[in-house]
Amino acid sequence: MTSIGAAHAEELRTLLAESALGDRTSFARLYDLTSSRIYGLALRVVVDRNYAEEVVQEAYLQFWQRAADYQPSRGSVISWMMTIAHRRAVDRVRSEELQHRKTAEFGATNQASNVPATLELVVDREATTELRTCLNRLTDLQRDSIEMSYFGGLSYPEVAEHTSTPLPTIKSRIRDGLRKLRDCLKGRDHG
C-alpha cells in the first residue's frame, strides 16, 4: 500500500466533507481518486470480479450515506473507506459461504422430489437435456436461485431469506440467469 501524501489526504478529507453536504461532484471526484484501491481490496478478499464490483458499489453507497460520520481524529479518509470496504467484502464472503451451505442443505432435503419427473412429463427428453445443459452454463448462484424459485416454488423474497442474500441481488441473479438461459435455449450460446 503506497503512502498518500498530505496534500492528497487533505483533498480526500475536503471531498468527503463536501460529499456529506450532498455535493455529487465532490463524491464523483472522491470515487475517481479512491475506487481503484477500494476495488483492489474487495477483489483480494472476495476473489470473484463480479462480487468485488458489488462490494465496491455497496461500499460507495455507504460512503455517501455515512460521509458525515467520518471523524478525522480516528484516521485518514482512505483508511476509513478501506475499513468499510473490507467489512463489506468479508460480509459478502460469509454470506456466500452461508448461501452455499444452505443451498447444499436445500438440495439434500429436496433431492427426492418429483420435480425432474414432472419436468420430463411436460418437456420431451431432448428438450430436458438441452435445459439441463443450459442450466449448467449458468453460475452456481444463478442456477441455485432459479432452481429454488422456479423448480422449488419459492418466491424471490423467500429465496433471498433462504440464502441470506439481499432481495435486489436475488432479483438480479435470477433475471440475468433467465436471460442467459433463454439465449442458450434459443441456440445463441451453444459454443
Q: Residues 128, 168: one domain? A: yes
> Tell me, what's the pLDDT at 125?
58
Q: How far is residue 148's CA from residue 155's CA, in Å, rounded to a whole number?
A: 8
> Tell me, what's the pLDDT at 2?
42
The CATH code of the domain that includes 137 is 1.10.10.10
In a domain, 102, yes or no: no
Q: Residues 16, 83: one domain? A: yes
> Tell me, what's the pLDDT at 111?
58
In a domain, 62, yes or no: yes
Q: Residues 145, 169: one domain? A: yes
Specify the number of domains making up the chain: 2
Q: Residues 165, 114: one domain? A: yes
In a domain, 128, yes or no: yes
Q: Residues 118, 162: one domain? A: yes
**17: domain range?**
6-96
In a domain, 104, yes or no: no
In a domain, 170, yes or no: yes
**Nearest residue to 16 via CA among 25, 4, 26:** 26
Q: How far is residue 67's CA from residue 69's CA, in Å, rounded to a whole number?
A: 5
Q: Which of 51, 69, 96 is the last residue of a domain?
A: 96
> Tell me, what's the pLDDT at 52?
93
Q: Residues 18, 85: one domain? A: yes
Q: Residues 138, 64: one domain? A: no
> Tell me, what's the pLDDT at 60?
96
Which grid cell is 140?
452456481
**Nearest residue to 62 via CA among 86, 45, 44, 98:** 86
Per-residue pLDDT of the chain (191 residues; tens, 9 = 90+): 344 577 889 999 999 999 999 999 999 999 999 999 999 999 999 998 999 999 999 999 999 999 999 999 989 999 999 999 999 999 888 888 887 787 777 766 665 554 455 444 554 556 667 777 888 888 888 888 888 877 777 788 888 888 888 989 988 888 898 888 888 878 765 44
In a domain, 190, yes or no: no
The CATH code of the domain that includes 90 is 1.10.1740.10
Q: Residues 89, 121: one domain? A: no
**Which pTM does this prediction carry?**
0.52
> Tell me, what's the pLDDT at 189?
52
Q: Residues 74, 123: one domain? A: no
Q: Which of 65, 96, 127 is the last residue of a domain?
A: 96
CA 109 → CA 21, 28, 133, 161, 177, distances in Å? 51, 48, 23, 17, 24
> Tell me, what's the pLDDT at 14?
96
In a domain, 105, yes or no: no
The residue type at 146: I
Q: Which of 96, 122, 148 is the last residue of a domain?
A: 96
- CB-based contacts of 67: which residues, under 8 Å, 6+ apart? 16, 17, 19, 20, 27
